[in-house]
């Protein structure tokens, strides 16, 4: 009994000291924070941003170049008003909803974090974004393309839109339109079948293509799906073949995409069908298949030419730096989008950060407002402008023709059609 009394007296004393210290502390800053509060970066500390990408597992080929693109952009941008920028340890979105959520919890718990570059996968962003948004932070994704994350491009917000979300990747509605326009107008095909695999990305893109193709006056004969892990594609191809479409669009991944390409031959009704895939199949192990020859692929336009970021770097400079630092070529296409996303975030921080009493204050609401104002900012991927739902990408879509499974690099550059809204 005696002991516990002594303890409580000690605690009371501690609380009193704490209150006094807090009261003294609140005098110092003159900075007036907005509705979402502000991040104070004290002298000698760094501005905290985070990189959240799929850096392990099956989809690491996509996430790792994104993560490195962010790191290189931070290096190129340098200090903001005399303060260093720190990306911290790269976080893993595991390309899944639970991975995205777990990482977002870690990030949201750290009040010093200003913004996030990520995620790699739309499924992870859907779960991560509510937490990031509630914490008042912003997130800019280099490779999410699901329309649900932003808007339907006609002023209606997507089902998974959260304030504070931006992306430099294209919205798949544009990719669907690009692919459909090419098939209908350039190839002159009027009937098409579509296969997805139930993933939010493939489903969204398949739907976007089907809607655009029908809007142009074409007919979608079959809109169907397979499961991830399926190997025997004869049933689904038989279902598709019953309507004898001229085009088969399957924006899915390996290995299911490979099984479809291999098993098309010999299915009645598909003798003369034209195959078309999307960026998910623009991988070496698919394009090495002899059966993939003659296929068209839709994807982001990677012909960056002499486009320059505001840091003064072009795609060529970036690739040279990437090669020098990591000793290999990027394994996926969105490194430039990651670079642009990071530069966008750092520029916005630079514009809203206020120095006061040796500290740097970054107002969270002002940062969002600043990103919403982005218009015609040059980037490696092209000119970046953010709409009210966070679509900031250059939105250029390219279609390539794959002619030779022995020379994949040449095929990847064989652009036969470009689409820009």
- Which parts of this chain interact with other proteins (CB under 8 A)? 57-58, 60, 198, 223-227, 229-232, 234-236, 238-239, 241-242, 254-255, 258-259, 262, 265-269, 283, 285, 288-290
Rounded-to-10 torsion of CA 315, 317, 320, 326: -80
* Shortest distance (Å) from residue 236 CB to other proteins: 4
Within 10 angstroms of residue 21's Cβ, the number of other Cβ atoms is 10
* Cα–Cα distance for residue pair 72/62, rounded to 1 Å: 16
* Cα–Cα distance for residue pair 243/85, rounded to 1 Å: 57
* Shortest distance (Å) from residue 228 CB to other proteins: 10
* Shortest distance (Å) from residue 180 CB to other proteins: 20
* Shortest distance (Å) from residue 41 CB to other proteins: 39
* Cα–Cα distance for residue pair 247/349, rounded to 1 Å: 47
By beta-carbon proximity to other proteins, the closer residue of 161 and 223 is: 223
Sheet holding 274-278, edge to edge: 219-225, 191-196, 247-249, 274-278, 296-300, 397-401, 415-419
Within 10 angstroms of residue 1's Cβ, the number of other Cβ atoms is 5
What size, in residues, is the chain? 421
* Shortest distance (Å) from residue 227 CB to other proteins: 6
By beta-carbon proximity to other proteins, the closer residue of 251 and 379 is: 251
SS3 (DSSP) at 340: helix
* Shortest distance (Å) from residue 270 CB to other proteins: 10
Q: Could you tell me if 66 and 334 are in contact, meaning their C-beta atoms sit under 8 angstroms apart?
A: yes
By beta-carbon proximity to other proteins, the closer residue of 26 and 227 is: 227
Q: List all residues 6 or more positions away from 279 whose beta carbon is below 8 Å from its beta carbon.
A: 175, 297, 298, 299, 300, 333
Closest CA relative to residue 198, chosen from 229, 167, 177, 168: 229
* Cα–Cα distance for residue pair 347/395, rounded to 1 Å: 21
By beta-carbon proximity to other proteins, the closer residue of 79 and 224 is: 224
By beta-carbon proximity to other proteins, the closer residue of 59 and 140 is: 59
* Shortest distance (Å) from residue 319 CB to other proteins: 23
């Amino acid at each position: 009994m005696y002991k516990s009394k002594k303890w409580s007296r000690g605690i009371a004393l501690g609380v009193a000291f704490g209150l006094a210290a807090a009261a003294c502390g609140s005098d110092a800053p003159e900075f007036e924070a907005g509705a979402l509060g502000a991040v104070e970066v004290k002298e000698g500390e760094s501005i905290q941003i985070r990189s959240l990408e799929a850096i392990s597992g099956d989809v690491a080929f996509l996430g790792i170049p994104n993560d490195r693109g962010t790191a290189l952009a931070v290096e190129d941008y340098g200090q903001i008003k005399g303060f260093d920028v720190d990306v911290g340890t790269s976080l893993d979105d595991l390309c899944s909803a639970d991975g995205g959520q777990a990482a977002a919890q870690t990030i949201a718990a750290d009040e010093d974090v200003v913004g996030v570059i990520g995620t790699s996968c739309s499924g992870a962003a859907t779960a991560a974004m509510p937490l990031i948004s509630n914490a008042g932070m912003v997130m800019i994704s280099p490779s999410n393309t699901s329309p649900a994350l932003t808007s339907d491009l006609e002023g209606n917000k997507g089902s998974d839109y959260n304030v504070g979300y931006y992306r430099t990747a294209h919205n798949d509605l544009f990719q669907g339109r690009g692919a459909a326009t090419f098939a209908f107008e350039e190839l002159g095909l009027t009937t098409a079948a579509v296969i997805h695999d139930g993933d939010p990305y493939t489903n969204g893109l398949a739907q976007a293509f089907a809607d655009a193709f029908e809007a142009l006056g074409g007919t979608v004969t079959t809109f169907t799906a397979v499961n991830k892990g399926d190997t025997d594609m004869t049933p689904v191809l038989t279902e598709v073949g019953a309507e004898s479409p001229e085009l088969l669009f399957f924006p899915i991944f390996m290995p299911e995409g490979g099984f479809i390409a291999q098993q098309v031959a010999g299915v009645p009704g598909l003798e003369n069908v034209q195959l078309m895939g999307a960026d998910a199949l623009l991988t070496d192990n698919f394009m090495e298949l002899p059966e993939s020859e003659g296929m068209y692929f839709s994807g982001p336009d990677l012909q960056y030419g002499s486009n320059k970021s505001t840091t003064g770097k072009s795609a060529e400079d970036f690739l040279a730096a990437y090669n020098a630092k990591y000793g290999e070529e990027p394994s996926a296409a969105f490194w430039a989008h990651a670079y642009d996303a990071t530069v966008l975030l750092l520029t916005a921080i630079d514009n809203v950060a206020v120095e006061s009493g040796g500290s740097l204050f970054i107002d969270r609401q002002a940062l969002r407002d600043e990103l919403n104002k982005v218009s015609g900012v040059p980037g490696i991927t092209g000119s970046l402008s953010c709409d009210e739902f966070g679509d900031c990408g250059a939105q250029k879509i390219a279609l390539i023709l794959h002619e030779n499974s022995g020379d994949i690099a040449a095929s990847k550059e064989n652009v036969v059609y470009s689409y820009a809204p």
